[in-house]
Amino acid sequence: MPRWLKAAFLAATFSSLTLAPALAAGGYAPPPGITLVASAPANALQLRSPQASGKKVHLDPKYMRQVVPYPSEQSAGTLVVNTGAKFLYLVLGNGKALRYGIGTARDGFEWSGTHHITRKAEWPGWTPPAEMKQRRPDLPDYMPGGPKNPLGARALYIGSTLYRIHGTNEPWTIGGDVSSGCIRMVNDDVIDLYSRVKIGAKVIVL
């Protein structure tokens, strides 16, 4: 091996060894099974930067969407919302589920039950309920869909309730008790879920 090539190889090796601890020390490590890359995402499970803001969403690793073991008697396609753990599971079958991090209801707005998805909407408009208008008279009567809309990029409507599984323009709220009963997801995650869930899918909120 030529001397210049050997020197380049040793330099590259030293650089990779010193860079790894630095990456581990700053920020957070990716969840098991996901490798950080500098190029475009190689699969749908890697979190992308929101297109609207161009800024990265720094989620706790456990709230990044990933396939996890999930033994369940529910059929594939069922949504199970664990409000206490702040996870939404899309049952895949064969003991697996696709898990997403969520934001849930504030104290006094919690609810549970079994329903079905009755409607889906892309970049939905938002009409604040009368009860919310009483609490927040500053809210508009209607807000058209778009990046500034609190329902985010997609919404999945739950039964005949006022509740939805929807995106958010406040991604930092994922993992908290933040809503008036709806289930929040980062926009990239709700877009992913929207593409997988069919009208009529069962939703179990625990």
As annotated, the active-site residues are: 166, 182
Give Cβ neighbours of residue 127 (< 8 Å, ≥ 6 apart): 141, 142, 143
Cβ-count burial 38-52 (b if 16+ within 10 Å, e if not): eeeeeeeebbeebee
HEC assignment per residue over the chain:
CCHHHHHHHHHHHHHHHHHHHHHHHCCCCCCCCCCCCCCCCCCCCCCCCCCCCCCCCCCCHHHCCEEEECCCCCCCCCEEEECCCCEEEEEEECCEEEEEECEEECCCCCCCEEEEEEEEEECCCECCCHHHHHHCCCCCCCECCCCCCCCCCEEEEECCCCCEEECCCCHHHCCCEEECCCEECCHHHHHHHHHHCCCCCEEEEC
- Could you give the CA distance from residue 147 to residue 90 in angstroms, rounded to a whole number? 25
